[in-house]
Amino acid sequence: MTTKDSRAAGLASLASLVADETRAACLLALLDGRAWTAGELARHAGVAASTLSEHLGKLVAGGLLAEERQGRHRYVRLADARAAQLVEDLAAQVPPAAVRRPPRTLREAGAGAAMARGRTCYDHLAGRLGIAVTEALTRRGLLRQDTGFALTDAGVEWFGAVGIALDLSGRRPPARACLDWTERRPHLAGAAGAALCRHALEAGWCERIGTERAVRVTALGSRELSAVLGVSPGAWE
């Protein structure tokens, strides 16, 4: 007699949630860490609002999205960091040839170039900017990558010295490797990655551009990254 693994049905159900291009487009858009209205996501995915509503219902019921209503607006966001990690990890497995299709317009080409330079990946920095920061932390002995991503004692002290609030009391790992889908190398995620990204945006080191996840380093940010981490100005270009 064959004994079925009780997790099989759950795994198949979870996989079916992302096995739809419209739902996948919504999940990728929400990696910017913000809450979107249903209307914004419908326009982004290129489908009717009524069609998208059905898709969002499935994602909420499946635990990948959380929703809230303000007046007549329905907002959705990724449910938590675990949901974001799942989407990130799956996206990183997409073959490079599928990701690097030729842009169809100059605007699309510009947006793609900006995303490759620097972007947010849910709540941490990615793209060449994220890689540059991660490598700088490693060179200075603040982050270890040889036995998996881990902050060193000096790394924890560095966050405090720079004035970046680092909360290590939660269940989230202090540091986690996230495979960058444009660079094909790991960048820093976890509590430390989130704290660094939040500080970079709040302190004016980086600023969001456009409606996508792209960010650019400001003149102040270039000076600060050079001063506190030794990141060469323009390393993300």
Nearest to 200 by CA among 179, 223, 183: 223
CB 173 within 8 A of CB 180: no
**Neighbour tally for 224: CB within 10 Å:** 19
Cα 206 to Cα 198: distance, rounded to the nearest angstrom: 10
What does the pLDDT read at residue 121? 86
**Neighbour tally for 202: CB within 10 Å:** 10
Reported as a pLDDT band with limits 50, 70 and 90, residue 104 is low
Query: Helix/strand/coil (H, E, C) string of the chain?
Result: CCCCCHHHHHHHHHHHHHCCHHHHHHHHHHHHCCCEEHHHHHHHHCCCHHHHHHHHHHHHHCCCEEEEEECCEEEEEECCHHHHHHHHHHHCCCCHHHHCCCCCCHHHHHHHHHHHHCEEECCEEEHHHHHHHHHHHHHCCCEECECECEECHHHHHHHHHHCCCCCCCCCCCCCEEEECCCCCCEEEEHHHHHHHHHHHHHCCCEEECCCCCEEEECHHHHHHHHHHHCCCCCCCC
What does the pLDDT read at residue 212? 66
Mean pLDDT, range 87-108, rounded to an integer: 67
Q: What is the pLDDT of residues 55-94, one digit of tens each?
A: 999 999 999 999 988 877 788 999 888 888 888 888 877 7
More confident residue, 188 or 5: 188
What does the pLDDT read at residue 5? 75
Nearest to 76 by CA among 92, 43, 99, 53: 53
**Average pLDDT of the residues of the chain:** 87
Q: Could you give phi then psi for residue 85, rounded to 5 degrees? A: -60, -40
Whether 9 has a pLDDT exceeding 60, the answer reads yes
Cα 151 to Cα 172: distance, rounded to the nearest angstrom: 13
Q: What is the pLDDT of residues 120-156, one digit of tens each?
A: 988 899 999 999 999 999 999 999 998 889 999 999 9
Cα 160 to Cα 203: distance, rounded to the nearest angstrom: 15
The full set of domain ranges for the chain reads: 10-80, 92-229
Q: What is the pLDDT of residues 162-172, one digit of tens each?
A: 999 998 887 88
What does the pLDDT read at residue 168? 86
Among 30-34, 149-153, 165-169, 190-194, the range scoring the smallest mean pLDDT is 30-34
Residue 158 half-sphere exposure, CB side, CA atoms within 13 Å? 18
Whether 114 has a pLDDT exceeding 90, the answer reads no
What does the pLDDT read at residue 1? 47
CATH class of 10-80: mainly alpha
